[in-house]
Amino acid sequence: MKISKFNAWSNPLGRATGFALLLLIVGCGGNAVADARYSADTHMASNQQAERDPQLLRRGKVLFLQCRACHGTSQAEGHLVGPNLSSLFGSTVGKRDGFIYSESMAESDLVWDTDNLDAFLTDPDALFPGTKMAFGGIADNVSRRALIAYLQSATSE
Protein backbone atom coordinates (compact mmCIF):
# COMPACT_ATOMS: atom_id res chain seq x y z
CA MET A 1 0.00 0.00 0.00
CA LYS A 2 1.40 3.38 -1.04
CA ILE A 3 0.78 6.36 1.20
CA SER A 4 1.22 9.73 -0.44
CA LYS A 5 1.49 13.08 1.22
CA PHE A 6 -1.30 15.53 0.55
CA ASN A 7 -0.30 19.16 0.50
CA ALA A 8 -3.47 21.21 0.96
CA TRP A 9 -1.87 24.40 -0.36
CA SER A 10 -0.83 22.78 -3.66
CA ASN A 11 -4.44 21.75 -4.28
CA PRO A 12 -6.77 24.57 -5.49
CA LEU A 13 -9.57 23.34 -3.23
CA GLY A 14 -7.17 23.23 -0.28
CA ARG A 15 -5.97 26.77 -0.97
CA ALA A 16 -9.52 28.06 -1.19
CA THR A 17 -10.45 26.29 2.05
CA GLY A 18 -7.34 27.60 3.81
CA PHE A 19 -7.97 31.14 2.61
CA ALA A 20 -11.62 30.92 3.66
CA LEU A 21 -10.56 29.78 7.14
CA LEU A 22 -8.07 32.63 7.40
CA LEU A 23 -10.77 35.16 6.44
CA LEU A 24 -13.16 33.55 8.91
CA ILE A 25 -10.64 33.84 11.74
CA VAL A 26 -9.73 37.43 10.89
CA GLY A 27 -13.31 38.37 10.01
CA CYS A 28 -14.60 37.21 13.36
CA GLY A 29 -12.42 39.74 15.09
CA GLY A 30 -9.38 37.49 15.49
CA ASN A 31 -6.28 39.64 15.49
CA ALA A 32 -3.89 36.69 15.76
CA VAL A 33 -2.51 37.22 12.27
CA ALA A 34 -2.01 40.94 12.78
CA ASP A 35 -0.65 40.49 16.29
CA ALA A 36 1.89 37.95 15.06
CA ARG A 37 3.27 40.56 12.66
CA TYR A 38 3.25 43.49 15.02
CA SER A 39 3.82 43.79 18.74
CA ALA A 40 1.70 46.36 20.54
CA ASP A 41 4.79 47.39 22.47
CA THR A 42 6.72 48.22 19.30
CA HIS A 43 5.13 51.56 18.39
CA MET A 44 3.11 54.09 20.30
CA ALA A 45 3.17 56.68 17.52
CA SER A 46 1.03 59.73 17.02
CA ASN A 47 -1.35 59.77 14.04
CA GLN A 48 1.21 61.69 11.97
CA GLN A 49 3.90 59.13 12.75
CA ALA A 50 1.44 56.31 12.08
CA GLU A 51 0.92 57.51 8.52
CA ARG A 52 4.66 57.16 7.86
CA ASP A 53 5.20 53.93 9.80
CA PRO A 54 5.35 51.04 7.29
CA GLN A 55 4.98 48.42 10.02
CA LEU A 56 1.82 50.08 11.34
CA LEU A 57 0.44 50.37 7.79
CA ARG A 58 1.11 46.65 7.20
CA ARG A 59 -0.73 45.81 10.39
CA GLY A 60 -3.63 48.02 9.31
CA LYS A 61 -3.76 46.31 5.93
CA VAL A 62 -3.95 42.90 7.60
CA LEU A 63 -6.66 44.16 9.97
CA PHE A 64 -8.61 45.53 7.00
CA LEU A 65 -9.09 41.95 5.75
CA GLN A 66 -12.02 41.67 8.16
CA CYS A 67 -13.52 44.88 6.70
CA ARG A 68 -12.84 43.92 3.09
CA ALA A 69 -15.76 41.50 2.92
CA CYS A 70 -18.16 44.45 3.18
CA HIS A 71 -16.19 47.59 2.23
CA GLY A 72 -14.15 48.63 -0.78
CA THR A 73 -11.56 51.39 -0.72
CA SER A 74 -11.54 52.38 -4.39
CA GLN A 75 -14.34 54.44 -5.91
CA ALA A 76 -14.40 52.03 -8.86
CA GLU A 77 -15.52 49.20 -6.54
CA GLY A 78 -18.84 50.82 -5.63
CA HIS A 79 -20.82 49.78 -2.57
CA LEU A 80 -20.73 46.22 -1.28
CA VAL A 81 -22.65 45.06 1.80
CA GLY A 82 -21.34 48.24 3.42
CA PRO A 83 -20.65 51.62 1.87
CA ASN A 84 -17.55 52.24 -0.21
CA LEU A 85 -14.86 53.97 1.85
CA SER A 86 -13.18 55.92 -0.96
CA SER A 87 -12.39 59.51 0.12
CA LEU A 88 -13.62 58.65 3.62
CA PHE A 89 -11.78 61.34 5.59
CA GLY A 90 -13.53 64.69 5.47
CA SER A 91 -16.80 63.17 4.26
CA THR A 92 -20.05 63.40 6.23
CA VAL A 93 -21.27 60.24 7.93
CA GLY A 94 -24.25 58.52 6.31
CA LYS A 95 -24.35 60.59 3.14
CA ARG A 96 -22.90 58.36 0.40
CA ASP A 97 -25.15 58.31 -2.66
CA GLY A 98 -26.62 54.93 -3.44
CA PHE A 99 -26.25 53.41 0.03
CA ILE A 100 -29.03 53.04 2.61
CA TYR A 101 -27.72 53.79 6.09
CA SER A 102 -29.17 53.07 9.51
CA GLU A 103 -31.30 55.90 10.85
CA SER A 104 -28.72 57.14 13.36
CA MET A 105 -26.01 57.37 10.67
CA ALA A 106 -28.29 58.92 8.05
CA GLU A 107 -29.33 61.66 10.49
CA SER A 108 -25.77 62.42 11.62
CA ASP A 109 -23.85 65.56 10.70
CA LEU A 110 -20.56 64.10 11.95
CA VAL A 111 -17.57 64.36 9.61
CA TRP A 112 -15.16 61.42 9.41
CA ASP A 113 -11.77 62.31 10.87
CA THR A 114 -9.27 60.22 12.82
CA ASP A 115 -10.90 60.95 16.20
CA ASN A 116 -14.45 60.15 15.04
CA LEU A 117 -13.31 57.01 13.22
CA ASP A 118 -11.38 55.93 16.32
CA ALA A 119 -14.54 56.33 18.45
CA PHE A 120 -16.58 54.42 15.86
CA LEU A 121 -14.06 51.57 15.59
CA THR A 122 -13.94 51.32 19.39
CA ASP A 123 -17.71 50.81 19.75
CA PRO A 124 -19.83 51.41 16.63
CA ASP A 125 -23.16 50.99 18.41
CA ALA A 126 -22.24 53.52 21.12
CA LEU A 127 -21.58 56.22 18.51
CA PHE A 128 -24.48 55.23 16.23
CA PRO A 129 -27.13 53.25 18.12
CA GLY A 130 -28.85 50.71 15.89
CA THR A 131 -26.12 50.69 13.25
CA LYS A 132 -26.60 47.95 10.67
CA MET A 133 -22.90 47.12 10.72
CA ALA A 134 -22.34 43.73 12.35
CA PHE A 135 -19.07 44.62 14.07
CA GLY A 136 -18.38 44.77 17.78
CA GLY A 137 -15.41 47.13 17.65
CA ILE A 138 -11.67 46.93 18.22
CA ALA A 139 -10.60 47.29 21.84
CA ASP A 140 -6.85 47.55 21.18
CA ASN A 141 -5.72 51.16 20.67
CA VAL A 142 -2.70 50.23 18.53
CA SER A 143 -4.84 48.07 16.25
CA ARG A 144 -7.33 50.91 15.76
CA ARG A 145 -4.53 53.36 14.98
CA ALA A 146 -3.05 50.88 12.51
CA LEU A 147 -6.39 50.42 10.75
CA ILE A 148 -7.00 54.18 10.65
CA ALA A 149 -3.50 54.81 9.25
CA TYR A 150 -4.13 52.19 6.56
CA LEU A 151 -7.52 53.70 5.72
CA GLN A 152 -5.99 57.17 5.43
CA SER A 153 -3.57 55.73 2.89
CA ALA A 154 -5.97 53.41 1.02
CA THR A 155 -9.03 55.64 0.75
CA SER A 156 -7.49 58.92 -0.38
CA GLU A 157 -8.43 59.44 -4.03
Domain count, the chain: 1
Is there a domain that residue 24 lies in?
Answer: no
Is there a domain that residue 104 lies in?
Answer: yes
Long-range contacts of 84-89 (CB under 8 A, 24+ apart): 85/151, 85/154, 85/155, 86/155, 86/157, 87/155, 87/156, 87/157, 88/112, 88/117, 88/151, 88/155, 89/113, 89/114, 89/117, 89/151, 89/152, 89/155, 89/156
Number of Cβ within a 10 Å radius of residue 123: 14
Domain with 149 in it: 31-154
Is there a domain that residue 100 lies in?
Answer: yes
CATH of the domain at 85: 1.10.760.10
- Distance, in Å, from the CA atom of 41 to the CA atom of 104, rounded to the nearest integer, reads 36
Determine the pLDDT at residue 55: 93
Is there a domain that residue 7 lies in?
Answer: no
Is there a domain that residue 15 lies in?
Answer: no
- Distance, in Å, from the CA atom of 54 to the CA atom of 150, rounded to the nearest integer, reads 10
What is the value of pTM for the model shown?
A: 0.68
Is there a domain that residue 1 lies in?
Answer: no
Is there a domain that residue 37 lies in?
Answer: yes
Is there a domain that residue 125 lies in?
Answer: yes
Average pLDDT, consecutive stretches of 10 residues, N- to C-terminus, the chain (157 residues): 45 47 44 38 42 87 92 85 92 93 94 96 94 90 96 88
